[in-house]
Amino acid sequence: MVFNMAVRTLCIGCLCVVFFSFKPTQCEPFQAPSYTIDLDLAPEERWLNITQKYLKYTPKILANLRKKIPPFAIPLAEKLAVVIDKHFPEEYNKEMMGISKGLNLSFSDTILLNILYDVTAFCTSIVAQDKDGSVFHGRNLDYSFTDTLRDITFISNFQSKGKVVYTGVTFAGQVGLLTAQRPNSLTISLDERDRGHIWDNVFEAIFNKNAIPVTFLIRDVVSTEGMDFSQAVKKVSQVSLIAASYLILGGVKVGEGAVVTRGREKTADIWRLSQDAAKEPWYLVETNYDHWTTPPPSDDRRDPAEKALKKLTQAKLTPDALFNVMSIHPVLNNETVYTTIMQAKNADLFNTWIQTP
């Protein structure tokens, strides 16, 4: 009996060694691929080489699209496709035509795909400044169909004349940007603000020709020559949008950090970092709820993030430390697709990791 007990103890010990020495590499974040978008090409040609790399995922993209979109919405998208030139910038229309060709999607499906990305992303965004006033911007993008999106996420470096003009994180099929940076100017990310049914937003896109997708607005902001943080805050506060949203921005100077809480037509609030780096607030945490309200217990990512930042302290804020904050549960969760860390005044810091928690 003593022998049996000894054998049992030895077996349990061996199992423990194996268990605790096992490294679940499939759970480690990994670098998102990076591609160049040549803005000097015709719009229809800019995405062709990239989308063809993701052509094998088109059946999954379509299947997910059909799960999210009820049958009655398909004719609406087809109607929008007919009058698309009256709603969206011509350049983006032509890019979507090229994407449709590259991914073997109908034009109406490509439009729906871009609207869907625009209005259904749950996220956490943090803009924070260190004790010297250097502003850092982190974001987690959370989404349904997570496994598919992890396969089709990439960094887009938009270049003209061989120079990077702006950078974003993109899903195959998307022309707008949810996460973006203009070097030495600003960083910006989008978090969904849940106001009404998703199809209210689709109707808004169809019947209000002045309203644009938020992701298109973000790309407009970072692609505009001479755009700075103050101008960007003003622009995103004034444009008519197809969906309520939170736009989180960072700049290059002390105090250049803000969360713009948007309705479709009006701005509800602009929440800013302190203009004095030594004073509060030195960070802003935005998830998917108005910052002056209490998030629901079932989806409280804000409080854990704020607790982690307070424990970190402003003196120890670095890109790596911010990444670690973005990686705590439930800020990082099973629906997190990617994490991006960026800093406008240090453009080379921009990086995105695919998350598989």
Decide if 131 is inside a domain.
Answer: yes
Which range, 7-11, 155-159, 260-264, is most confident?
155-159
Q: Is the predicted pLDDT of residue 18 greater than 50, yes or no?
A: no
The predicted structure's pLDDT at residue 351: 98
Decide if 164 is inside a domain.
Answer: yes
Domain boundary residue, one of 116, 141, 170: 116
CA dist 308 and 311 (Å) reads 5
Backbone φ and ψ of 321, nearest 5°:
-65, -40
One domain for residues 84 and 153 = no
pLDDT band, residue 15 (cuts 50/70/90) = very low
Pairing of strands 135-142, 336-342: antiparallel
CA dist 255 and 283 (Å) reads 10
Decide if 283 is inside a domain.
Answer: yes
One domain for residues 215 and 335 = yes
CATH of the domain at 250: 3.60.60.10
CA dist 25 and 292 (Å) reads 39
One domain for residues 47 and 163 = no
Q: Is the predicted pLDDT of residue 44 greater than 70, yes or no?
A: yes
One domain for residues 214 and 89 = no
Domain boundary residue, one of 83, 116, 149: 116
Q: What is the mean pLDDT of residues 61-89?
A: 74
> In the sheet that 30-31 helps form, which strands lie side by side, from edge to edge?
30-31, 351-354, 336-342, 135-142, 122-129, 283-286
The predicted structure's pLDDT at residue 68: 79
Q: Is the predicted pLDDT of residue 86 greater than 70, yes or no?
A: no
What digits encode the pLDDT tens for the residues 186-198? 999 999 997 655 5
Q: What pTM value is reported for the model?
A: 0.89
What digits encode the pLDDT tens for the residues 321-342? 999 999 999 999 999 999 999 9
CA dist 96 and 115 (Å) reads 12
Q: Which domain holds residue 300?
A: 121-354
One domain for residues 150 and 79 = no
The candidate with the shortest Cα–Cα distance to 342, out of 334, 351, 354, 333, is 351
Decide if 206 is inside a domain.
Answer: yes
One domain for residues 302 and 323 = yes
One domain for residues 305 and 338 = yes
The predicted structure's pLDDT at residue 11: 45
Q: Are 270 and 235 in contact (CB under 8 A)?
A: no
Point out the residues that are catalytic: 123
Decide if 7 is inside a domain.
Answer: no
Domain boundary residue, one of 116, 148, 181: 116
The candidate with the shortest Cα–Cα distance to 251, out of 179, 333, 336, 182, is 182
Mean of pLDDT over the chain: 88
Output DSSP code: residue 349. Answer: G
One domain for residues 83 and 156 = no
One domain for residues 298 and 158 = yes
One domain for residues 76 and 152 = no
How many folded domains does the chain comprise? 2
Q: What is the mean pLDDT of residues 285-291?
A: 97
One domain for residues 112 and 130 = no
One domain for residues 204 and 278 = yes
